[in-house]
Chains A and B, each alone.
Chain A
């Protein structure tokens, strides 16, 4: 079988039917197009008031940030009145002591990814994750992970993952990588220690990434021998969630 035939077969077997798709897409464009003149008229009429509204919004944001910052400071000082370092370390140790639960599947075909939230991210909450391929290395492959939470979470959040069939840990590199060093690899010209855990902190969330309450971006990696079925466990203060990716 030629490579062309193999590629056709590989993608056609997952391609959903496209009946009505061209009409739907074109119609959406034409419907959207029907609006600009109306919007243009509205904008013309509101241009001056809108600039005033923008100033008011800006002032409100600045005031909100100042007040919010002060409130946050008070809140943090209230919460950190106990010996912070010891408390944090003991919380991490507590999370690391939570055993990993590895479901058993008879074969890769039995493995089902999930659970997903309403926007297709993996996780049952409060923390969810998305991922995309980053780059391969001689050791394996690395993935860019975005974890996020939309509700209040506090304290350390521990992420661990294992290959469901080989038992190998999914490794982590970068600023949030933590826990035992399980290997090292040269990736994009730099040699990194590979850690078995990621430790997320609500105080160092990458909030600029996307509009969620908390966002963390980190890098995971799996060796070339990975089965591709991985089980992720996220433990935080007051919650423990798991999801499977196959």
Chain B
């Protein structure tokens, strides 16, 4: 997992230099984009969400007491931008009617299975989808996922269990969470 450079401001809310900001935020853009893409299924909307989150970060990062927590905080901002995306594009919506399992056997089989899984993920409610994406796609430990969603580790684990059950009812939970 990518680690954020530990930069401790010398005292409270103060302006952050452009260089420091670039150093702090740069490593977070790609995971932020991956999160937004998995949440929104639209590369352009995902880039917009990350860009908006970065503007928010610029305004608030200097006031953060512990900038070591920047990564979960920033991903939380990206997640909020995704939730607030006012108009989700049609492609992410109407194409969600596929059954969970496709019985197609063809050269495109792998692609279709991927599409099937993406649709199943996008059917989850925002909070459920967020923990699934953070845990399985961004490979974040449960503690960090909990920090992003602003919940306890126990509650986050329970939400993840429920989400996996919705996603793949046939899977053994412990096996699925590996």
Contact = CB atoms under 8 A, between A and B. Distances in A.
Interface in A143-166: 143-146, 163
A225 B33 CA distance: 32
Contact of B94 (A23, A224, A230): A230
Interface residues of B, number: 64
A37 interface: no
A46 interface: no
A246 B95 contact: yes
Nearest to B25: A26
Contact of A29 (B58, B99, B112): B58
Q: 3 closest A-B pairs (Cβ-Cβ)?
A: A132-B88, A226-B97, A131-B93
Interface of B: 18, 21-22, 25-27, 29-30, 33-34, 37-38, 41-44, 47, 50-51, 54-55, 57-58, 86-99, 104, 106, 108, 110-115, 117-119, 121-123, 132-133, 136-137, 139, 164, 167-168, 171, 175-176, 178
A109 interface: yes
Given A29-B58, A133-B92, A245-B90, A11 B98 contact: no
Contacts, number: 169
Contact of B96 (A11, A22, A143): A143
Contacts of A13: 110-111, 114
Contact of B55 (A8, A32, A120, A146): A32
Given A4-B136, A11-B137, A28-B54, A141 B118 contact: no
Nearest to B118: A10
A37 B118 CA distance: 44
A9 B133 CA distance: 13
A7 B122 CA distance: 12
22 contacts: A3-B164, A3-B176, A7-B136, A7-B137, A9-B110, A10-B113, A18-B29, A26-B26, A28-B54, A29-B55, A33-B58, A108-B104, A113-B90, A121-B90, A130-B88, A130-B93, A131-B88, A131-B92, A132-B87, A133-B88, A228-B95, A245-B94
B27 A141 contact: no
B75 to A, nearest CB: 14
Contacts of A11: 34, 37-38, 114, 118, 137
B117 A7 contact: yes
Interface in A1-52: 2-4, 6-11, 13-16, 18, 21-23, 25-26, 28-30, 32-33
B131 to A, nearest CB: 12
A29 B53 CA distance: 10
A29 B37 CA distance: 20
A143 B87 CA distance: 12
Determine chain A's interface SS by DSSP, over half rule: mixed
Given A29-B58, A108-B112, A223-B97, 17 more contacts: A3-B168, A10-B114, A10-B117, A11-B114, A13-B114, A23-B26, A25-B47, A107-B104, A130-B88, A130-B89, A131-B92, A132-B87, A133-B96, A143-B96, A146-B87, A222-B94, A228-B94
Contact of A132 (B92, B118, B133, B167): B92
Nearest to A28: B51
A220 B21 contact: no
A188 B123 CA distance: 15
A228 B122 CA distance: 14
A140 interface: yes
Of B51, B108, B175, most buried by chain A (CB within 10 Å of CB) is B51
A2 B26 contact: no
A121 B89 CA distance: 7
A122 interface: yes
Nearest to A224: B99
Given A131-B88, A131-B93, A18 B132 contact: no
A132 B118 CA distance: 14
Given A30-B21, A109-B112, A132-B87, A245 B55 contact: no
